[in-house]
Structure 1
Amino acid sequence: MFVVCGEALMDVYMGEWTATGMTLDSRIGGSPLNVAQGLARLERPVAFLAGLSTDACGERLLASLRDEGVDTSLVLRSDAPSTLSVISVDAAGVPRYAFHGTGAADRQITLDTLPPLPKAARVLQFGSYALAVEPVGSALRALAARERERLLIAYDPNVRLNVEPDLARWRAVVEQMVSIAHLVKVSDEDLGLLYPAETPPQVAARWLERGASLVAVTRGPHGASAWTRAAQAEVPSPETEVVDTVGAGDTFQAALLTWLDEHDALTPEALSALDPASLADLLGFAARAAAITCSRRGADMPRRDKLS
C-alpha cells in the first residue's frame, strides 16, 4: 500500500460581481491529494494521511477521496478551518493568489497525533507545503526519518512561495528530506527557485551523494530526465494539445510510483539497479500520464486503462 502524506485544500476562484456580492467557484485541490487520487486511478492501493476539517469544505474533500477509492482511515479530523487558496484575475488578466491557511486543519498534525501506519504500507509519499509549515512539517519529516529503513520514501518538494515565501526555509526542508528520501522527483522550475546557480544534473548528482537512489527532473514541454548513481536517461514530452498543466506534476509522480510497483522496483536497491533502458521506460510512462492530464481541464488524472 502507498501512503500519501500532506495536505488537501480548496482552490477558490473569484467570479463575477453580483448585486449582493460575487460568485465563487471552489475546486478540490492540494498536490498530495492529487497524488493519492492519481494512484487510485492507476489501480494502486493508497491511503491518505492528512488533517481535514469537519467544516463543509473538509466534508467535500473527504468525500472526493472516498469517491476515488482512497483509504481515508489515516485522515485526522478537527474543527479547525479548511485551507483556502483564493485566486482572482486583475484587469490585465494576471492571476493573483491569496492563501488562507494559518491555523487550518491540515497543519494540526503533531508527532503525538500521527496515526499508526497500516501493516500493508510499503511506500510513504511526501511533498508540498505541509513539509514546510508547523507543526505538521516537523511531524511528517520525523515520520519519514523514522520509517526510512523499513519503507520506501518518495518526495516531491512542490515549492509554494505563496504559502512559505522564505526560500532559505524551503532549502532547509528540501535538503533534510533529500537526505531521507530514496526517490526524489522535482520540477526544473523548483530547482530554478531553490538552486539558481546549479544545473539539474549538478543538483541530481549532489542529492544522489546525500543518499537518494533515484532523482527525476521534469521539464514541462521539454521532457524529463532521471539519474541513479550508475545510469541516466532522458525522454521528450509526448505531443499533446495542452488545455492546462494543473496536476501534471502530481500525475507524473503517481505514474512513476505505479510503474515501479508494476515492475517490482519499490526498494532502494531496485531503484539503484535500474539501467538506462528501464529509466527511459519509467520516464516515458510517467510523461504519457502527465500529457493526458495536460489535455484535460484541471487535475483530471488518467485511469490505468488509458496508458499502454
Structure 2
Amino acid sequence: MFLVCGEALFDVFIGDESNKALHLDARPGGSPFNVAVGLARLGQQVAFLSGLARDMLGERLVRTLSQEGVETGLCPLFDAPTTLGMVELDAAGVPRYAFYGNGAADRLLSRDQLPELDEGVRAIHLGSYATVVEPVAGALEALVRREHDRRLIAYDPNIRLNVEPSVARWRERVDVLTGLAHLVKISDEDLHLLYGATDEAALARRWLAGGCGLVVVTRGAAGASAWNARGRVDVPAPRVATVDTVGAGDTFQAAMLAHLAETGQLDPAALAEMDVEALARLVDFAARAAAITCSRRGADMPRRAEL
C-alpha cells in the first residue's frame, strides 16, 4: 500500500464571461490528492493523509476519494473551510493558480494526529505546499523522519509561490526533504524557481550524495531525465494534442511509483541500483501516462488499461 500525504482542495477553472456572469468549473484536486487518485487508477492500493473539512466541499472530497478507491480513514476532520485553487489557462493550456486557503483544513494536520502505520504501507509520497505551511509541514517532516528507515519516501516539491511567496522558505524545506527522500521528482520550472540557472546534473549528484536513490527532472514537452548511482537517462515526451497540463506532473509521479511496485523495485536500495535500461522504462512509462493526462481537461489521470 501507498500512503500519500498533503493537501486536498478544489481546482476552480475560470471560464468564459456572459451576461455579466463568470463561468466556473470546480473539480477536486491538489497535487497529493491527484497522486493518490492516479495510483488508485493504476491499480495500486493507496491511503490518503490530510486534514479534511466538514463542509460541503470536504464531504465531496471524501466521496471522490472513496469512489476512486482511495482510503480516507486516516484523515482527521476539521471545522474549517476547504482550500480553493483558482485556475486560469493560457493559450497553450498552461495553468496559472491563485489559492484561497488561509486556515483551511488541509493545513491543520498536527504531529499528535499522525497515525501509526502497519507493515502493509510500503511507500510514502508527499509534496507541494503542505510541506511548507504550518502546522502540517512540521507534521509531515516528523512522519518521514520516523518512517525513513522503514519505507520508501517519495517527494515532489511542486512549488506554489502564491501560497508561500518566500523562495528561501521553499529552498529550506526542499533541502531538508531531499535529504530524507529516496525518490525525488522535480520539474525544471520548480528547479529554476528554487536555484536559478543551475546545472541540473550537478544538483542531482548533490541530492544523490545526500542519500537520495533516484532523482528525476521533468521538462514537459521536452521530456525528462533521471539519475541514480548507475548513471543518467534522457527520455523524450510522447507527442500529444495538449488540452492542458493540469495534473501532468502528479500523473508522472503516480505512474513512476506504480511502475516501481509492478516491477518489484519499490525499495530504496533498488532505486539506486537500477540500470539505465530499467530507468528508461520507468521514465518512459511515467511520460506516457502524463501525456494522456495532458490530452484531457484537468487532472484526469489514466487508468492502467490505457497504458
Interval containing the TM-score (normalised by the shorter chain): over 0.9
Task: For residue 96 of structure 1, report the CA deviation from its aligned partner.
Answer: 6.5
Percent identity, aligned pairs only? 58
Partner of 1:192: 192
- Give CA-to-partner distance per residue, 1:38-64, whole Å, 9 cap, x none: 000000000000011010110111111
Task: For residue 25 of structure 1, report the CA deviation from its aligned partner.
Answer: 2.6
Whole-Å Cα distance in 2 between the matches of residues 159 and 139 of structure 1? 19
Closer, same or farther in 2 for the Cα pair 1:77/1:244, shift >3 Å?
same
Give 1:64-83 correspondences, 5 Å limit: 64-83=64-83
Amino acid at match of 1:39: L
Q: Which moved more, 1:238-247 or 1:249-258?
A: 238-247
Task: For residue 11 of structure 1, report the CA deviation from its aligned partner.
Answer: 1.7
- Give CA-to-partner distance per residue, 1:34-87, whole Å, 9 cap, x none: 000000000000000001101011011111101100011111111111111234
SS in 1 for 2:70: coil
1:255 aligns with 2:263: no
Partner of 2:246: 246
Amino acid at match of 1:122: R
Partner of 1:210: 210
Whole-Å Cα distance in 1 between the matches of residues 145 and 154 of structure 2? 12
After TM superposition, the score normalised by the length of structure 1 is: 0.94
Report the number of matched residues.
Answer: 305
Whole-Å Cα distance in 1 between the matches of residues 188 and 88 of structure 2? 26
Give 1:37-186 correspondences, 5 Å limit: 37-87=37-87, 97-186=97-186
Whole-Å Cα distance in 2 between the matches of residues 150 and 168 of structure 1? 30
Amino acid at match of 2:302: P
SS in 2 for 1:112: helix
Q: Is the 8 A contact 2:107 2:135 kept in 1?
A: yes
Task: For residue 19 of structure 1, report the CA deviation from its aligned partner.
Answer: 7.3
Whole-Å Cα distance in 1 between the matches of residues 268 and 245 of structure 2? 30
Closer, same or farther in 2 for the Cα pair 1:239/1:20, shift >3 Å?
closer
- Give CA-to-partner distance per residue, 1:142-171, whole Å, 9 cap, x none: 101110000100000000011001000000
Closer, same or farther in 2 for the Cα pair 1:77/1:32, shift >3 Å?
same
Partner of 2:32: 32
Whole-Å Cα distance in 2 between the matches of residues 95 and 203 of structure 1? 27
Whole-Å Cα distance in 1 between the matches of residues 286 and 52 of structure 2? 29
Give 1:257-296 correspondences, 5 Å limit: 257-296=257-296
**Gaps in structure 2 of 5+ consecutive residues:** none
SS in 2 for 1:232: strand
Closer, same or farther in 2 for the Cα pair 1:265/1:86, shift >3 Å?
same
1:219 aligns with 2:200: no
Task: For residue 242 of structure 1, report the CA deviation from its aligned partner.
Answer: 1.1
Amino acid at match of 1:67: Q
After TM superposition, the score normalised by the length of structure 2 is: 0.94
SS in 1 for 2:119: coil
Whole-Å Cα distance in 1 between the matches of residues 291 and 19 of structure 2? 41
Whole-Å Cα distance in 2 between the matches of residues 151 and 254 of structure 1? 17
Whole-Å Cα distance in 1 between the matches of residues 174 and 148 of structure 2? 16
Whole-Å Cα distance in 2 between the matches of residues 130 and 50 of structure 1? 9
Amino acid at match of 2:260: L
Q: Is the 8 A contact 1:231 1:274 kept in 2?
A: no
1:2 aligns with 2:2: yes
**Gaps in structure 1 of 5+ consecutive residues:** none
Amino acid at match of 1:227: W
The CA RMSD measured in Å over matched residues stands at 1.9
Closer, same or farther in 2 for the Cα pair 1:270/1:88, shift >3 Å?
closer
Whole-Å Cα distance in 2 between the matches of residues 265 and 144 of structure 1? 20
Closer, same or farther in 2 for the Cα pair 1:285/1:17, shift >3 Å?
closer
- Give CA-to-partner distance per residue, 1:100-152, whole Å, 9 cap, x none: 11111001111011122243101000110000000000000110111000010
- Give CA-to-partner distance per residue, 1:198-231, whole Å, 9 cap, x none: 1211110111011100001101111111000222
Closer, same or farther in 2 for the Cα pair 1:211/1:305, shift >3 Å?
same
